[in-house]
A and B are shown apart, each in its own frame.
Chain A
Amino acid sequence: MRRIMKRLTYQLKNLRKDKLCLLTFLLPIVVGIVINVLPAMNTQTLGEMSFGCVKNDLPAKTVRWLRENGTLTEYGTLGELETAVNDPATQMIGVLRSENGIRTLLSGDELKLYETTGKTLPRLYDNRMNKIAFSQTIVPIRSNYDGLKSLLIVITLVTAMFMGCTFNSMNIIGEKEDGVALVNQILPMGTGDYILQKLTLGFIGGCASTAICAFLCIRIAPAQIPPLFLLIVLSAYTASLIGLFIGYFSSGLMTGIVYIKILMILFLAPPIIFYLVVPTDNVVFPLSYLFPSSAAFYGLMDVLGGQAHRPWLNLAILAGHAGLLSGIYFLIMAKKRKRQ
């Protein structure tokens, strides 16, 4: 036991000297801090309607009405307003005075919601004076996170989890390049020992980075902590296994980095796209579970949303991935030993 600890401390020391690993460790934490201190306004303006008008063109009451319904930016001339409306990056709707109300400017490339808004805004404006009796209930949202922010947090956490593979794969590749891997072969150290050490290395790195990041970013009910803990542990383990695969397959540092890059894209993009675009009851949706990161992603989303029942399904899928990958890795290792 003490021997294992000693070796592990040596490995960790080795890791500390590696600036790349240090940076991958710190990067999610820094992003976590940035998300945390990001003013709430910044992420919120994205969900608002954005209107533009020419200065001193609209009457004060119209300006007030527009400001109640979204953000209003004033431009000096009509030309400036038209440029802003035409800017492909924004969904801005231009509002101008007309004889008996307002008229709107659209660039024609807006998303459906904004296009309809632009087309119906003059009527909606006329309707504001229409007094009809109704009562109104607006239920405040329970969680403290608006959609975009929790999405950002989850993306950061999943990145931190699966970046764990960087720690041990870089370590293994570094050893390969320095020739330590060859020395290891004649040292009286079993393959099992070696795998265990490298696995622990990635596991500790991934876990620690994710845990710190989670601690900084999210506040959840105590009941949600066990599923969160299990999610982190299982994903860090899976990531660490993947790190072993990368270390095994890549011949040099360059290929290793390329593999990690491709893997991160493959692991991060599908869950985000599936989460945003594909409804949960779609037949295609279960396909996204082919990537272990998807289970982690949905699980984290549920934990943040305060839904306790679904993490267990995601945890089971994640555990399945971990088991399957371990099996494959041990098979490869066994085959390799037989060949030697």
Chain B
Amino acid sequence: MWKGFTHLLKKDLKMMLSGKFFLLALFSLVLYSCYINLVYVNLEQEDYQVYLFDPHGASARQDAPSGQNEHVTDVGSRQELENACADGVSIGIDLSAGTPEIYMLSSGIQTADHYRTEWGKAVLTKIMDEKAVLSETTDHEVEIIGAFDKEQKSRREITCEFLFFELSAVGFLGLASILFKEKQMGVIRVHGILPVHKAAFILSKLCVFLLSDLFFAILLTFINIGFGEGLAILPGILVQAGILSLVMALVGFLCAVWLPDFKQFSLFYLVLAVFITTPVFLAGQTGVSWDWIIFHPMYHLFTAMKSAYFGVATTSFPFYSICAGTTALLFYIAYRVLAREMTKEG
């Protein structure tokens, strides 16, 4: 039995190699890491820029000392002021007429416009009354309660999302593509008469994919979060990655056995990618809250993965027992379906 199992493992590994699965995973790893390190970490939303047109007293005004938050730029004419504010974010202050004027292009959102006006008014107070409104507040007025700074947060967040996507969408496709190839070659038919247990057939595939997924998770975490910080959260991540990998691989296995050809499978895959992972991403990334999202099974897997990345243990015993139950159930169904397929094939 075990000798057969190691042979099966070897065969599956060879299939993955020949299907360029590892090459694809490596390519994704490089692509994701480049995106995270070169682009995502640098994304920033800057403070409001204030443009000041003051033909009478520009020279008298002193530059704001450091540690203040006004970013005031002098402009030479009203036209320049209007051009500078054309982005719908910047605020213009025109002191050329009797009463000062706050000029801005609407951002399309009423509250945001109101807030920008307040900001402009604060800068105006500084200019008119020489009262620095926007200087840093004292410590007892602002309390920082989080454990991560912006860069750590972005790295953890996006790495978690990429890992989730890679495991749920791409891992699923990988197993199915191998199984379809085997189906085409008639391997399932041959297995029907081999003295190898059907469970071993499924198990070997699961093992190979689980290992490769875990390896991928380790590399992705170390490359993008750093070795020290990554090591501290790795155990939690591996548990979640393992659960996700097993569940998705089993679903992929089921679909690949059920659906007659790869074309129909890719259709199904498209539906899965669009309707199953997109809402989860939206909810996870933007904080949009939907009440129904708690009925979305993938959402819980995603939140668990996210908590693991942020080092919070929010998942509880019911979560793990449901995961274990689902995996066992999926395994049982996969087993039954495979058995039926083998009888059908003769």
Contact = CB atoms under 8 A, between A and B. Distances in A.
A19 interface: yes
A162 B105 CA distance: 35
Given A20-B263, A254-B262, A48 B146 contact: no
Contacts of B149: 108-109
B69 A69 contact: no
Interface string A127-153: 110101111111111000011000000
B284 interface: yes
A109 B152 contact: yes
A135 B145 contact: no
B148 A120 contact: no
A113 B267 contact: no
A68 interface: yes
Contacts of A44: 108-109
A46 B286 contact: yes
B284 A27 contact: no
A104 B145 contact: no
Interface string A103-131: 11111111111111111101110111010
A69 B145 contact: no
B105 A107 contact: no
A85 B153 CA distance: 13
B106 A138 contact: yes
B293 to A, nearest CB: 12
B155 to A, nearest CB: 11
20 contacts: A20-B267, A23-B270, A49-B115, A85-B146, A86-B146, A94-B145, A105-B142, A108-B145, A108-B148, A109-B154, A113-B48, A124-B133, A127-B125, A130-B121, A134-B99, A134-B101, A134-B121, A254-B19, A258-B24, A262-B27
A96 to B, nearest CB: 8
A47 interface: yes
Contacts of A258: 24
Contacts of B291: none
B187 to A, nearest CB: 16
Contacts of B270: 20, 23, 27
Contacts of A186: none
B39 interface: yes
A104 B310 contact: no
A276 to B, nearest CB: 8
Interface string A261-274: 01001000100010
Contacts of B263: 18-20, 253
B143 A105 contact: yes
B276 interface: no
Contacts of A46: 286
B99 A133 contact: yes
Contacts of A85: 145-146
Contacts of A107: 144-146, 148
Nearest to A134: B100
Contacts of A90: 287
A141 B101 contact: no
Contact of A138 (B100, B111, B113): B113
A110 B142 CA distance: 14
Nearest to B274: A27
Interface string A16-54: 001110010001000000000000001011111110000
A279 B136 CA distance: 30
B104 A139 contact: yes
Interface in B83-124: 88, 99-109, 111-115, 117-119, 121-122, 124
A320 interface: no
Closest 7 CB pairs of A and B: A107-B146, A109-B153, A90-B287, A111-B45, A108-B146, A69-B115, A89-B287
A109 B266 CA distance: 39
Interface of A: 18-20, 23, 27, 42, 44-50, 67-71, 82, 85-90, 92, 94, 98, 103-120, 122-124, 126-128, 130, 132-141, 146-147, 253-254, 257-258, 262, 265, 269, 273, 277
A119 B136 contact: yes
Contacts of A111: 43-45, 150
**Which of B48, B128, B142, B284 has the most C-beta atoms of chain A within 10 angstroms of its own C-beta?**
B142
A136 to B, nearest CB: 5
B42 A277 contact: yes
Contacts of A113: 45-48
Interface string B256-286: 0000001110110010001000000001111
A191 B129 CA distance: 80
Contact of B133 (A86, A103, A123): A123
Contacts of A98: 140-141
Nearest to A41: B109
Interface in B127-167: 128-129, 133-137, 140-150, 152-154, 156-157
A70 B35 CA distance: 32
Contact of A122 (B106, B137, B264, B267): B137
Contacts of A69: 111, 114-115, 118
A321 to B, nearest CB: 23
A19 B27 CA distance: 29
B177 interface: yes
Nearest to B95: A134
A70 B101 contact: no
A146 B47 contact: no
Contact of A48 (B112, B124, B157): B112
A44 B107 CA distance: 10
B125 A132 contact: yes
Contacts of A269: 35
Contact of A124 (B122, B153, B283): B122
B101 A119 contact: no
A243 to B, nearest CB: 16
Nearest to A19: B267
**Which of A45, A120, A127 has the most C-beta atoms of chain B within 10 angstroms of its own C-beta?**
A120
A88 B156 contact: yes
Contacts of B106: 138-141
Contacts of B136: 119-120
A3 B109 CA distance: 57
A89 B266 contact: no
A208 B44 CA distance: 38
A123 B111 CA distance: 18
**Which of B27, B140, B143 has the most C-beta atoms of chain A within 10 angstroms of its own C-beta?**
B143
